[in-house]
Structure 1
């Protein structure tokens, strides 16, 4: 899947365990007040569409699924399948400690349905109707590496969300899973989460300019009796749904007035798997926005803090997200799309990049860090952090992090677990006793329209 470090380690003073963190720093307004009046992001909202288009054109990890060819050759399809559903070279274990054998993996390989692949294979298209996991193999079985960290299911890749378009490449042998390609990932998704539709209808749906953006960590559609497909549906940050036009709106719907709600087009799945649209209601007091949020430092901070304390979820597991999911969902509220995995982001040539190598001196890194802008993305192998600002001259970040480590003022080495979206200082973080986060920073990325390499 993605990270090799699983978005690392742990810390604090008092009840929180994190050094140099006080309650006031766990508040978005505290960091927003540090901003100067003229601070702005290096890319305007008007440039976002061009930014995304450049990514789709030049970045191999970004795909416009509705531009997928209507058919794939056997070679093409098997090539895609082998990229995601390969037997790992490292040992894997079930939670009870049983090591997976070739026989175990053969069971998963048999469900890939490779025997049905023809010389040419029709591609279908669909919309996601509910948040669902994207998996290495078409199974919900959880497996782990030899460290047996039960938070890190190695078959968990990422997630898809309501309203996302996907290309459907293959059905599993048991007809319970689809191999799908969304805008930044290819993996297996349960069929019940996908509704199949006409490509042109999907293009029209996803291209609508009048839409509601989910800006809260999680928002739910209004409760509707006897309508489970549209009632209390979870919508995560970054989901966007078309708004009904003025002529389509209702005064009353589902036995209630619509005056206090937005009316959105929600994709739903019929019994035969086909797509239909239903009007769903989202309360006007919910954390939502008509159109994209303005791409400003103030909004970057606000969006990041909406996840503060959410449990870390490897590959969007635990109904949460990991470090790159955290970053991706924040930036989607501005309309900005990015590759899924930290290495794909950090090594990507998009934006303005301040790159370092193993021979880069600490002083050179600190010179760049001293000039960071709010929202800059800091990459170490397997992890990404969002720059928040300075406190007493020290840089602070917010990130979705599994654990942290640090040296105490008494010279003791502390190692523990955060397992949550957390605010931490940057310079004091350790990966182990010998290695700091600073040692491993290989890129700092500023989201800009033009690609630059700076040092």
Structure 2
């Protein structure tokens, strides 16, 4: 199994801050927040927007974004072009997808009670992946996701942890998919309850109950339908309807795009309710036989949506990030939340910008405007770049990504989804704030370990701008 998502702040050793990690300024820890350099006023997005000289200047217009998305699909090997899949899939290709994620773990794992997982139990989970049953060739099948659903390293809900006192970082949790996400269905688990699917940004296991199989043209065409609404809040929810439970109170996360039934007859009820207070949208549903169908649903006008992606501006980057402020950190989109790479992806998705799923691929994507660092790059070189960071820049350290929201007295500040922050206290010793959620902080005082700062460990900076 690949471990890729951000453990945003590793467990850090206590100790004096060495001269190698000396700060360019003195930092304080305000009592009202308990986080270095962060005053309560700075938890308001308007505070950061007001500091921008041109908050509404468009960074990339729709045409430039479309060109960048096309470049991403063409150049980034972590992406999967579902439209380009052949009509028949060979075993070699499918096995590479399955084996790439469902490798038998070699290190000790623990269950939710903190007990070591028996080898026999792990063998059964691995066997359920049914890799030996992948046929020599098979027709390419497609489906639409009908409900937010986990993507797993193995076809099991069983949660696994690296230590007996960790109950947050499930090592089998990979990501999540959302209503309307298209997938190629390429393999089935031995117990018949799971499908291995390939989405544009990821390949892993999903429970079959959350995918409806359909024809390629209806699956791949769903996300291109117009007119549409795109979710611009952290989430939106369809109305409750007992007449059609499959679309009742359905959660749609930031960036989810759904087609609008603009020709719905005025006055005709939708699932027993007049539609004038809502948008009539069309959602994919799964029939009893697992086949794809579509159903109308009401998306209340009070819900945060737009008829087009938001303009890519500093204002929107800041405001979209702050809509998740305080949401609990969710490794691999667990806890109905998201992790650091999912967090920045969904901010940008609300503006029509596609990013790879995980930090390791985002950080090195050849489709973006990348600044790379290596271990030979000293602090002076790093700080020269850091001082020039702009709103929306993505800063990567091993296993973590942060988005820049502005600067205060020349010091860059970031918003990020993190398990916690470590920094030097007034006495020079390391302090830790277990934020465990979407957090605002300055960049330069953050500690990666007892002797290095985050700045010392920056691997890449990606810029979604010219």
Deviation at 1:370, TM superposition (A): 1.5
Q: CA deviation at 1:38?
A: 7.0
Whether the aligned pair in 2 keeps the contact of 1:378 and 1:387 (CA below 8 Å) is yes
Contact 2:6 2:340 in 1 (8 A): no
Q: CA deviation at 1:412?
A: 2.5
Match runs of 1:127-166 below 5 Å: 127-146=144-163, 148-166=165-183
Displacement of 1:123 after TM fit?
Answer: 2.4
- DSSP 3-state at the match of 1:256: coil
Partner residue of 1:205?
Answer: 222
Q: Measure how far apart 1:221 and its partner are.
A: 0.2
TM-score by length of 2: 0.92
Give the conservation status (yes or no) of the 8 Å contact 1:195–1:270. Answer: yes
Q: How many residues align?
A: 449
Q: Structure 2 residue aligned with 1:67, among 69, 73, 84?
A: 84
The answer to whether residue 329 in structure 2 is matched with residue 320 in structure 1 is no
Which of residues 383, 389, 412 in structure 1 aligns to 2:406?
A: 389
Q: Following superposition of structure 1 onto structure 2, how do residues 13-412 of structure 1 map, counting pairs within 5 Å?
A: 13-37=30-54, 40-146=57-163, 148-246=165-263, 251-412=268-429
Structure 1 residue 274: Cα displacement:
0.6
Structure 1 residue 344: Cα displacement: 0.6
CA displacement at 1:239 relative to structure 2: 0.6
Shift of the alpha carbon at 1:5?
5.5
- Matches of 1:22 and 1:210, distance apart in 2: 42
Q: Which stretch has the larger CA shift, 214-223 or 13-22? A: 13-22
Residue deviations 1:219-270 (CA, integer Å, cap 9, x gap): 1001112321111001111110011133566543233221110111111111
Q: CA RMSD in A?
A: 1.8
Which SS does the other structure have where 1:252 is aligned? Answer: coil
After TM superposition, the structure 1 stretch with the greater mean CA deviation from structure 2, 123-132 or 61-70, is 61-70
Q: Secondary structure at the match of 2:246?
A: coil
Distance 1:354 1:193 in 2: 39
Aligned-partner Cα distance in 1 for 2:457–2:105: 26
Conserved 8 A contact 1:62-1:338 = no
Once the two structures are superposed, residues 262-314 of structure 1 have per-residue CA deviations (whole angstroms, 9 ceiling, x without a partner) of 11111111111111111111111111111111111100001000000000000
TM-score, length-normalised on structure 1?
Answer: 0.94
Q: Is the 8 A contact 1:13 1:19 kept in 2?
A: yes
Q: Classify the secondary structure of the residue corresponding to 1:278.
A: strand
- CA distance in 1: counterparts of 2:438 and 2:368, whole angstroms: 25
Q: How many angstroms apart in 1 are the aligned matches of 2:218 and 2:442?
A: 48
Specify every segment of 5 or more residues in structure 1 that has no aligned partner in the other structure, as ranges.
Answer: 450-455
In the alignment, the residues of structure 2 paired with residue 179 and residue 250 of structure 1 have an alpha-carbon distance, to the nearest angstrom, of 43
Check the 8 A contact 2:371/2:462 in 1, yes or no: yes
Contact 1:243 1:264 (C-alpha < 8 Å) held by counterparts: yes
- Gaps of at least 5 residues in structure 2 are 13-27
**In the aligned structure 2, how far is the partner of 1:106 from the partner of 1:302?**
46
